[in-house]
Amino acid sequence: MSKSSFVAEAVKKYGQDRESLMPILQYVYEKKHYLSKEDMQEVAEALDLSSADVYGTASFYSFLDTKEKGEKIIRVCKSISCDLKNKEQIISAIESKLNIKNGQTTPDKKFTLLETNCLGWCHKGPAMLINDNVYTELTPEKAVAAIEENL
């Protein structure tokens, strides 16, 4: 399916009002796992918004990536509470397992590793998401096991 057909599908589903911007961006993101410049330009044209407005909205939210990422995105919480519970050991274990650094994607485009702001699991930190799956009370071993579940 072409890039533009996802935007067209989303506009058909959610409409062309300004209020449709987020649902449309989320729809396209769900289909492609990122929002290309072309997608954002097409959304801007469909909703009669400036490209800067659409890009500003898309780039503001950490869960709407504007650069191509892996099929599975690992987001490790970087809040102070997770940091105090040895989040760095979790990051190191993941980097070792996948042979990538924070912010990188594996050569096979299977995984991308990112740190992100609070995931809302501070009481069970350190925490991470792999796409929509939550993993809490992590140890380096639990983090590696979670990745192995997602291979």
Query: In the chain, what are the domain boundaries?
Result: 3-60, 72-149
pLDDT above 60 (res 114): yes
5: confidence class by pLDDT, cuts 50, 70, 90: confident
Q: Is the pTM of this model over 0.85?
A: no
Angle, CA of 99, 102 and 106, to the nearest 5°? 40
141-150, long-range: CB within 8 Å, 24+ apart, which pairs?
141/93, 143/90, 143/93, 143/94, 143/97, 144/93, 144/94, 144/97, 147/74, 147/94, 147/97, 147/98, 147/111, 150/72, 150/111
Is the pLDDT score of 64 beyond 80? yes
User: Is pLDDT of 27 > 50?
Assistant: yes
| In the block, residue with structure tokens 């290309």 | 36
Percent of the chain with pLDDT over 70: 97
CATH number (3.20.20.70, 1.10.10.1590, 1.10.10.10, 3.40.190.10) of 3-60 reads: 1.10.10.1590
